[in-house]
Amino acid sequence: MEELLDFLEREQPDILVAQEVLNSDDPATPQRYRSIEAIQSRMHFPAVEYAEAFIDNEQGHRFPSGNATFSRFPIVEHHIIPYDVPYGERTEHNPQAWANTPRNLQHTVVQVDDIFWNVFNMHGIWDLVGERASDRRKKMCQTIADAVRGKTHILLAGDSNLKPTNPALKPIDELLTSVFGQELTTSFNIKRKDMVKFPGYGTAVVDLMYVGHDVRVLEHHCPQVDISDHLPLVAVVEPLTNGKDTVE
């Protein structure tokens, strides 16, 4: 957690979307189970919204888990869009439990001067095979496409649990522009993965970022930092309707 907070302090993002955010309200639990409190105490974001997806259990602790969006600018709307598994409690940690874990799409509207940014924070349905276009994944991607359709100044990012070449992403690819395309080799921090048992992590990109067609990407990169089992994605963007303002 300290390394993660140090990274955020160096990066100073205007908007931060995070997944698997643990949000216990029990002060007796370790800091990692109180992620929002920890980030807020260091970064002091004026606005934060939480999209709780389920209750998790680990090492004797019970806590909410979900998506969180932090912003330097006002969040004027907040919506939680579930996929197919309803809100519930996860008591086991194994592939079957991971596949059936509730996930959601978080939608916030962030106002930067006179521009309203539609920020979508996604956490995708888990499947060990990133290329598998299952019916559940197709339905999830259609849900995301339906949510972004018709909106302006769109930012969509998060852990999709899909490779960018997965056919299930077609409805999203038709509406938005991928920021990283096929540039990355992996979005996993392989220092945190068992590369002997699961060598596929070394060539798996599952963390994706998209923008709407009225958004210009000025710069983007994937910092190689050891703060999670995934690597962060960073982009600096500006609205095409007002090139004076940039958002990171």
Length of the chain, in residues: 248
What are the residues whose beta carbons fall under 8 Å from the beta carbon of 221, sequence distance 6 or more?
234
Half-sphere exposure of 68 (CA within 13 A, CB side): 19
Torsion of CA 175, 179, 185, 190, to 10 degrees: -100
* Confidence (pLDDT) at 135: 98
Residue 181 CB neighbours (<10 A): 9
Residue 198: what pLDDT?
Answer: 87
C-alpha 38/C-alpha 13 separation (Å) is 16
CA dist., res. 50 & res. 215, Å (int): 25
Closest Cα partner for 17 from 93, 91, 83, 104?
Answer: 104
Q: What CATH number should be reported for the domain whose range is 2-239?
A: 3.60.10.10
Evaluate if pTM is beyond 0.85.
yes
- What tens-digit pLDDT sequence spans the chain (248 residues)? 999 999 999 999 999 999 999 999 999 999 999 999 999 999 999 999 999 999 999 989 999 999 999 999 999 999 999 999 999 999 999 999 999 999 999 999 999 999 999 999 999 999 989 999 999 999 999 999 999 999 999 999 999 999 999 999 999 999 999 999 999 999 999 999 999 998 999 999 999 999 999 999 999 999 999 999 999 999 999 999 754 566 67
Q: Which of 102, 95, 99, 38 is nearest to 64 (CA)?
A: 102
Contact at 8 Å (CB) between 90 and 57? yes
The CA distance from 73 to 226, in Å, is 28
Q: What is the pLDDT of residue 246?
A: 67
How is the chain split into domains, by residue range? 2-239
Q: Are 137 and 172 in contact (CB under 8 A)?
A: no
Produce one character per residue of 82-97: b if its CB has 16 or more CB atoms within 10 Å, e if not.
ebebeeeebeeeeeee
